[in-house]
Amino acid sequence: SSNSKEWPFYFIQGADPQFGLMKAWAVGDTNNGDDEWGEEIKLAEQAVQAINKLNPKPKFFVLCGDLIHGMPGSQWRKDQEQDLKNVLKNTDQDIPLVFVSGNHDIGNTPTKETIDNYCKNWGDDYFSFWVGGVFFLVLNSQLYFDSSKCPELKQAQDVWLNEQLAVAQKHKCKHIIVFQHIPLFLKKPDEAHDYFNLEKSVRQEIMEKFHKAGIKAVFSGHYHRNAGGSYRGLEMVVSSAIGCQLGEDTHGLRVVVVTDEKIVHRYYSLNELSSQGIEKELLDMLAKQN
C-alpha cells in the first residue's frame, strides 16, 4: 500500500499450521511420524473460512512460520506443501498472504540451498512492506538461531535490516512491526536460552537494535502456546498454533488492530472467530476515524 493514512486497520496473525506434527507428536516420532495431516488440513481450512467471513476485511494474513512439519529433504514435505497451498488458495483474493520462514521450513541449521528452496515456494525469506504509515519487517530468525552453514546470508540480512531501519527513521513512520518465527524471548527478556527462544547475547543485541529503532512489537510463533512480555517498550507477542497445541491453548488466530497511537491484539480460537467474529470493542476501535 502507499504511504497514505489508512489507520485504524487490522491484520490477522497465524502461526505453525505445521502439516504433519499432530500425528508425529501422537506417535512419538517427530522425525518420521508425519505421514498424515488430515487434522491440520481441516484446521487450516477453518482458519481460512473464519478470515474470509470477517467484515471489515483484514489488510493481510501473516503466517509466522512452520508452514509444514517435514524438514528439508524429508519424505512427505512436497505433499504437505502442496496441501497447504491448496487450502490457502481459497483465501479471499483481497486479503494478501504474508509468509515467514520457520525452522521446519528451512531447517534448524539452514543452508543456501534450503533457503533458496523456501524462496521458490513461498517468496523471500526477509522483506519489508508498508500499510498506511506503518512499516512491517519480515525476518528470517533461523539466521539468528544458527547461521553456521550460511554466515554470508546472515550478514546480508543484517546489512539489509540496518538499511531498512534507516529508511523507517527517515520516513518517520507511525509504527514499526516485526514478524519472525522464533521469539526473542517467551516471557522475560533475560530468561535462559532454550529451544523456543534466541540465545541470550544474540537476543540482547537484537532487542537493543529494535528498541533504538523504535520498533513497537515483534510477533512470533514457534512455541505452540500463547506467551509474551516486553523489553523497554518493545512488546514481544508469541502466538499459539493453528495446528498442534503443545500447551493449554486452542487452535487459533490473533487479531491485531493498529491505531494511530497503539497496537491492540487478541487471540481467538478458530471456533470463536468463525462463529462470532471480532468483538465489539475492537470493531469500535476500527470504526474510529483518527
Of the pLDDT bands very low, low, confident and very high (cuts 50, 70, 90), residue 3 is very low
* pLDDT on residue 290: 56
Q: Chain-wide mean pLDDT for the chain?
A: 96
Distances in Å between the alpha carbon of 151 and those of 12, 25, 73, 110, 136? 32, 32, 21, 10, 25
User: DSSP letter string over 257-283?
Assistant: EE-SS-EEEEEEEHHHHHHH-S-HHHH
* pLDDT on residue 7: 77
* pLDDT on residue 5: 57
Residue 98 has pLDDT above 80, yes or no: yes
Parallel, antiparallel or unpaired: strands 127-131 and 134-138: antiparallel
Give the Cα separation of 194 and 51 in Å (integer). 33
**How do residues 119-138 score in pLDDT, each as one tens digit?**
999 999 999 999 989 999 99
**How do residues 166-224 score in pLDDT, each as one tens digit?**
999 999 899 999 999 999 999 999 999 999 999 999 999 999 999 999 999 999 999 99
Give the Cα separation of 251 and 267 in Å (integer). 10
Mean of pLDDT values over 80-104 = 98
Give the Cα separation of 241 and 239 in Å (integer). 7
Contact 129, 177 (CB under 8 A): no
**How do residues 272-289 score in pLDDT, each as one tens digit?**
999 999 999 999 999 986
Contact 46, 52 (CB under 8 A): no
Report the interhelical angle of 38-53 vs 77-88 (nearest 10°).
20
29: cell is: 516420532
Residue 158 has pLDDT above 70, yes or no: yes
For the question of whether the overall pTM of this predicted structure is more than 0.75, the answer is: yes
Residue 2 has pLDDT above 60, yes or no: no
Residue 1 has pLDDT above 60, yes or no: no
Identify the H or E element spanning 119: helix 112-122
* pLDDT on residue 6: 72
Q: Which of 28, 37, 100, 94 is nearest to 66 (CA)?
A: 100
| Neighbour count for residue 192 (Cβ, 10 Å) | 8
* pLDDT on residue 288: 86
Mean of pLDDT values over 59-79 = 97
* pLDDT on residue 132: 85
Mean of pLDDT values over 243-270 = 97
Residue 87 has pLDDT above 90, yes or no: yes
